Amino acid sequence: MLKATIFDMDGVLIDSQPLHFMAEKETASHFGHPIGEEELKQYLGWREEEFWKELIRRYSLPATFEEMREFDRGIVEGYLQEAAKPDESLAKILLKLRGRGMKLAVASSSWKRAIGIVLGGLGIREYFDAVVCGAEVERGKPEPDIFMLAAKKMGVGARDCAVVEDAPSGIRAANTAGMLSIALMGKVNAGLDFSEADEVISSLDELPGVIAKNSCAGRISGHF
């Protein structure tokens, strides 16, 4: 029986990935290397430090990771404050899951302040039993650390958790953790490979049904 659902944030709880792409383009260009959206999609789910250090290494950019991170964060936080507005339909989905006794968590590679801006702006912070940011774990996705910590904070076992992700690296992390992996497909990630996901949905409206199905079916999956 599934007891908890763990949500990635960007691209799952809020359609913020285009905002991150815009900020990353501005930042990369500012520090000397214009970058396109298709290339940025390769890094979906990466932690900030790993992403910026990889760009610095690959393109020999004249900047430190800290400089690029702080420049990008300033842009992103402004975008998020404008975009994160109360979302009644999302709140209803979360309430439905909680009404079935499901614990909920957010596990995002983003930083703590950004997560706070989004959850507060959407008006959904109260629904979550645990919130984990990328800085709280040593290894980022596709390693399972962030999801394992979320499960630990909720007091549930890994096999009792489902994970909702929009990036292949997040799906791999969920599978490695032994959790039910659910890919949320949208316009931004439509061309990515989600063949490793246990379930694929196109809207969070489908999530309660998928959770119920896998709970009743005893989670029959190639990953378990």
**pLDDT (0 to 100) of residue 217:** 59
**pLDDT (0 to 100) of residue 221:** 45
Q: Could you give the residue numbers annotated as active site?
A: 8
How many domains is the chain built from? 2
To the question of pTM greater than 0.85 for the whole model, the response is yes
C-alpha to C-alpha distance for 108 and 135, rounded to whole angstroms = 10
Judgement on whether residues 8 and 29 belong to the same structural domain of the protein: no
Last residue of a domain, one of 39, 60, 83: 83
Judgement on whether residues 200 and 145 belong to the same structural domain of the protein: yes
Q: Which amino acid is at 181?
A: S
Last residue of a domain, one of 44, 60, 83: 83
Judgement on whether residues 209 and 111 belong to the same structural domain of the protein: yes
**pLDDT (0 to 100) of residue 218:** 56
Judgement on whether residues 77 and 111 belong to the same structural domain of the protein: no
β-strands 130-133, 199-201 pairing: unpaired
In a domain, 222, yes or no: no
**pLDDT (0 to 100) of residue 224:** 42
Q: Any idea what the CATH number is for the domain that residue 124 is in?
A: 3.40.50.1000
Judgement on whether residues 65 and 169 belong to the same structural domain of the protein: no
Contact (CB, 8 A) for 62 and 31: yes
**pLDDT (0 to 100) of residue 95:** 97
Q: Any idea what the CATH number is for the domain that residue 51 is in?
A: 1.10.150
**Domain interval for residue 63:** 17-83
Token pair 């900030």 is at which residue?
48
- What are the residue ranges in the chain where pLDDT is below 70? 217-224
